[in-house]
Amino acid sequence: MFSHVHVGITNFERSYAFYSAVMREMGFELKVCSLEQSWAGWIAPGEERPIFFIGLPYDRQPANAGNGGMTAFLASTREIVDRCYAVALGTGGRSEGMPGLRPHYHPNYYGAYFRDPDGNKICVCCHQATNTVPVVFIAAVDPVGAGLVESLAHPGGNATGFMQFDYSLSGKWLEMLRQIAPAVTRAGVIRDVTVASGIGQFAVIQSVASSLGVDVVPIGAREEREIESGIAKIARARNAGLITTSGAAVSGHRDYIIKLVAQHGLPAVYGHRTWVDHGGLISYGPDLLATARLAAGYVDRILKGEKPAELPVQAPTKYELVVNLMTAKTLGLTVPPALLARADEVIE
């Protein structure tokens, strides 16, 4: 389909060192290199096209990394993905997503994301399943729906681990929204309708809404424009609030959502503390560090001879409530003492 791809850079020597290391891990060969013209290109062994080029812009104006643009390289194994990510971060790149499964794309999608020294976004991904290497996951939203395991009690394959949370947790987000903002009668729920977990979380929230006297409205999460229009519409209603469900599509827009929520002065509840660390009001979700320790126990048991197929998938055992008092003050909200007493951390 493609003849070549060209990525703009600002410093040839720096970028050449970065991409040479990444291309080496991918097994690609240098096709052409011109120090005089400040450009270079790589190809897959035995192929003539496509060619991946880096170089100074033709007009010699400063190169700019576009928002939404990304070049994705296909790796034959997950180990190559891991190595490319490590090499990229060690040669001037910065992380945009650690190596791991992204089952919202498809069950076997394993990828890593990073930016080169000029900010160009790069992905290295593998679409092949691993049927022999044991896999322990620590934050799968819907491992059965994503095809990672056959069932929670009996995984049946080479993967097991821990869910991000039990779906019933979703209803607690609406309860907390009412606790911290009792006047709320209408709540927007940002969720990804293209994955089962997004539909499931919204269904749980919807099931408790009537008992709490709240009308819930779904907001799409795939594109910024639908998020912006959905939040703006909710904000026009009186006594409105917001909930974000868990999922890669929603988390990928974290900073944008927090900015919109602040602009509209909406009280909002989030599913993980990272949102509150970045200015969100309140979060209730799993303590991922505690879950990682449990996952380490599974790894130890597997290394001692147990099989992933025989280790049930578990829900997290520890959850944390985090409140941002600075955000509450900005919104003119008084956090109930009972809620503060339950908080695992209060940001002041």
Q: What is the CATH number of the domain that holds 277?
A: 3.40.50.2300
Task: Tell me the pLDDT tens digit for each residue of 118-135.
Answer: 999 999 999 887 767 788
Q: Which domain holds residue 182?
A: 169-286+318-347
Report pLDDT for 337. Answer: 94
Residues 186 and 148 placed together within one structural domain of the fold:
no
Residues 242 and 208 placed together within one structural domain of the fold:
yes
Report pLDDT for 285. Answer: 92
Residues 245 and 191 placed together within one structural domain of the fold:
yes
State how many domains the chain has. 3
Output Rg (C-alpha) for the chain, integer angstroms: 23
Query: Token match 């002041």: residue?
Result: 348
Residues 280 and 295 placed together within one structural domain of the fold:
no
Nearest 5°: CA angle at 97, between 192 and 138? Answer: 75
Among 126, 155, 190, identify where a domain stops: 126
Residues 141 and 182 placed together within one structural domain of the fold:
no
Longest dimension (CA), the chain: 71
Residues 257 and 277 placed together within one structural domain of the fold:
yes
Residue 20 exposed, middle or buried by CB count within 10 Å (0-12, 13-18, 19+): middle
Report pLDDT for 62. Answer: 81
Residues 225 and 91 placed together within one structural domain of the fold:
no
Query: Token match 């509150």: residue?
Result: 276
- Contact criterion met (CB below 8 Å) for 316 and 293: no
Report pLDDT for 142. Answer: 79
Residues 151 and 197 placed together within one structural domain of the fold:
no
Regions in the chain scoring below 50 on pLDDT = none
Residues 183 and 274 placed together within one structural domain of the fold:
yes
> Which tokens belong to 58?
């033709």
d(CA 64, CA 56): 11
Helix, strand, coil % in the chain, rounded to nearest 5:
35, 25, 40
Residues 177 and 198 placed together within one structural domain of the fold:
yes
Residues 148 and 207 placed together within one structural domain of the fold:
no
Residues 158 and 275 placed together within one structural domain of the fold:
no
